[in-house]
Every structure is written in C-alpha cells, then in structure tokens.
Structure 1
Amino acid sequence: MITIRIAAIYDIHGNYQALEAVLNEIDKENVDKVIVGGDLAWGPQPKKVIDTLYARKDDFIFIMGNSDREIFEQFKNPQSIGNMVQELNQWCIDELTTEQLEWLGSFKFSHKEGDALFIHGSPRSDTEAIRLDTPESDVYEMIKNENTLVIVCGHTHIQFKRHISSKEVINAGRGLQSRAKGACWLLIHADEYILRVTEYDFENAAREILLEGAPYKEDFADHVKNPPYDGP
C-alpha cells in the first residue's frame, strides 16, 4: 500500500513547456515524491528539459527510458549517423554537458514503492510495449513474475488502466498526447491512482520550438500543435 502522495511523469521527450506546466501543477499538489519514468531528452528542447530536471536530481527518482539509454550508449560509443534517431541522439549529446550525460546513463531500470512497480516499458525490457489493446495473454507474460499488485509504465504514450490477472497495469501517459490535448501524468494519493492532464499553451510551445535549433524542428512543432494518434 502507498500512503504518501506521489506524482509520476513519463515520456517528456524534450517538451519543455509541457514539463514546466506539469511541474507547476505538481508543486500545487504538495506531493511527497516525484518519479520520472524515462525518455527525457530525445526531442526538440533537450537542454531546457535536462537543465530543469538535473537541478532536481537529488529530489526526484529517475527511471531509465529506452531513448535515455540510447543517447547514453551513443555518447559512450560514437558512431556514424545512419538515421533520424541517431541524428537526434547526437544533437542531444551535443546540447548536454558531460555531467548531464553521465547522469542520464545512471538511471535505474525500475523502482518499487509500496505495492507498485514503476518501469518504462515492461518489467522485461525498456522497449517492450504495453498498449491499451495489447492482448491480455501477452501482457500476462510480461508481468507474471512480478509480485507487486500495480505496475506503472509509459513508453506507449496513451494513458490507461487495465486489470490483468491479479494486477493493475497503469500507463501514466506522455508529456503530450493526442487524446488528452494536454500534458499527462499520474497522481497517487491514499492508494488511489489518478490519471491527470494539465493544459498548456500548444501554440506558444510550437513557436518556441521553431525559434530554436533542433533538427526536424518543423516536425516537432507540428507534432505539438497536431499530435499524431498514438493508440487505438
């Protein structure tokens, strides 16, 4: 059982204004603990996002996302750029300090709090996807060896709650997603898991992205204003 107030933020993906909106909302909630569930930097504003979170590195709990891991791996083992992901990885590397990159690579795979397990993808892999429409039998294979009653995940970007076998599987949602038209996060209070959405200024966020130097910034700005449909 979780008796303290916890906020969980997942899949920020370099969206600074969404992060700021959620952090301001969390500050109003007087939470006892903040868990950041991975995929922080990969996106249009990695420096602003990481500067903000690095300043709170001793206060928040950080879980490794697949894009965090991939950025760190490319930082440690530079490679020729062969695709968009690698190009964005390298741009994030160039935007961040060595200390920030080493910190990004230090995140743990999972975190347990009371009867809840917090992971990025699934308990088996940071790239394994638990979606709203993933067959129950497939999800069961991913979670069957966990002894916690609740599994909080991200990675697939759509908020949901699913009861599978004897467990609750909860996706906290992305910093921006199509269904919600806002920045998504999870509030845990008195053992209740509350899916939250915080509104912010999409148009201003997109304009800010266009003024900065990210590769594919036009695509990122359009994504903020017109988020793609990420799930069923």
Structure 2
Amino acid sequence: MKIAAIYDIHGNFRALEAVLHVIEKEKVDKVIVGGDIAWGPQPRQVVERLYAKKDEYHFVMGNSDREIYEQYKIPPRAIHTMAEEVNQWCIEQLSDEQLEWLGSFGFSHGEEDVLFVHGSPRSDVEAIRIDTPANEVEQMISKTKQSTIVCGHTHIQFKRMIASKNIINAGSVGLQSRLRGACWLCMNSKEIELRMTEYDVELAAKEILQENAPHKEEFAAHVRNPPFQGP
C-alpha cells in the first residue's frame, strides 16, 4: 500500500496544490492529512480544496485546527496574541460547516504498524524535534504499540530510530523550514521517502500579500525565505 502524508499546510494554497498534483499523478492508495490545515493567510482556499476530499482522505487533528475550533465555539473577550488574531481571521473566512468539520478530526490515525499523530502520541502540542534528546522521546512514545510513528508540528523533516521505533517527521507543506519547497512524505511497506516538491514561491508570496490576512507580510517572507532552525 502506498501512502502520502501531508502535514502543516498552514493556509498556503499554492504549496498544497503543488503537492496534491504530485500525489494525484502517483496514484497513492491513501492520503493522511496530519493537521494544521487552515491557520495561515489563505484558510478558505485550502479548506475548500481539502473539504472536497473529506470522504477520501484521512484527517488528524493539529493543535491549530483544535485551537481555531475552540475559539469558534467560545470566542475570547479580547484578542491578545498573534495566534488568536490569525485564529479569528480563519474563523471569519470559513463556514460553520467547515469549522465543525475542522473540529471533528481524530487525535491520531493508524495504518497497520504505523501511527500518524500531529505532535507526539501524547499531545498535539508536544514537539518531537530533530534534536530532542532520545530519553525524552522515549517517554513520549513509551505507550505506542506501532513500530513507526509519523509526526509533524516542528516543520523540519527527519528520520530517527529511538527505542526500536522509527520516528518520522513529514515536514511542512506550507511553512517549511530549511527547504524552499513543500515538504511531505511518501511511504510503502518497503520504504519511507521524505519528499520536497518545488513550487512557485514568489507567486505564492505575491498572492498571500494580496489577502487581507493579519501578519501576511510575515507569512510571505517565510515562504520566500524559509528559516534555518535547529542544529
């Protein structure tokens, strides 16, 4: 079985379109969307694209999906943080039906001996980083039965072997770090391949700047020049 895993799209429509074009050409058997779909400058376009696939793809809850849904259900009296400001922008761009769908994702998804989560098997905000000490990761995965854990959240791709388990980070489609492209993962029973799909980042940044999204300049700058993070 051939599986594609796409994580951390963060409202970057051009990046998502580029990856889905490759996935559709490769005729994968399943697509796992690992969370953090809408939080970003183009939530409507991204959600509409993925909502059309809601009966075909498998969706895992990301922390920003959950936080958008929670803010939609119980709005704050005042907006204090960048995260809350972008949450509110996303809420205003999406329909009630789409927001309810965003809040319906499961915490994880299992495929045979593979567990797909957003952060760690314990929490959608707990980060398994490329340099997280192995003893800390062991605590996060100690109750996981599957031998392979696919995660995201940190936006940096990696493969690590810890406590006899494969820990794979699919990277970020829309707000990637280190690589100037859309990062994702393709796997089958024999191989796990970290992918990077090139797309027109200048056009993506230009379209982002045409939106009315808060902090659109920061989003566009990140797309144009992904930061180098970590060791």
TM-score for the superposition, normalised by structure 1: 0.97
The equivalent residue for 1:97 is: 95
Distance in 2 (alpha carbons) for counterparts of 1:28 and 1:128: 34
Distance in 2 (alpha carbons) for counterparts of 1:216 and 1:144: 39
The equivalent residue for 1:154 is: 152
Query: Pairwise mapping of residues 70-149 of structure 1 onto structure 2 (< 5 A)?
Result: 70-79=67-76, 80-149=78-147
The equivalent residue for 2:25 is: 28
- Could you tell me which of 9, 14, 21 is aligned with 1:17? 14
Per-residue deviation, residues 162-195 of structure 1 (Å, max 9, x unmatched): 0001100000000142322110110012331110
Residue 47 (structure 1) aligned with residue 52 (structure 2): no
CA RMSD of aligned residues (A): 0.8
The equivalent residue for 1:170 is: 168
Residue 182 (structure 1) aligned with residue 181 (structure 2): yes
CA contact (8 A) 1:9 1:36 kept: yes
* SS of match in other structure, 1:121: coil
CA contact (8 A) 2:180 2:225 kept: no
Q: Percent identity?
A: 66
The AA in structure 2 aligned to 1:193 is I
The AA in structure 1 aligned to 2:114 is A
The equivalent residue for 2:66 is: 69
Deviation at 1:35, TM superposition (A): 0.2
* SS of match in other structure, 1:222: helix
* SS of match in other structure, 1:82: coil
Deviation at 1:212, TM superposition (A): 1.2
Distance in 1 (alpha carbons) for counterparts of 2:163 and 2:73: 40
The AA in structure 1 aligned to 2:63 is N
Distance in 1 (alpha carbons) for counterparts of 2:3 and 2:37: 19
CA contact (8 A) 2:9 2:37 kept: yes
Distance in 1 (alpha carbons) for counterparts of 2:115 and 2:157: 17
TM-score for the superposition, normalised by structure 2: 0.97
* SS of match in other structure, 1:78: coil
CA contact (8 A) 2:8 2:172 kept: yes
CA contact (8 A) 1:206 1:222 kept: yes
The number of residue pairs the alignment matches comes to 229
Deviation at 1:217, TM superposition (A): 1.0
Distance in 2 (alpha carbons) for counterparts of 1:160 and 1:116: 16
Higher alpha-carbon deviation: 63-72 or 180-189:
180-189
Over 4 Å off, 4+ runs: none
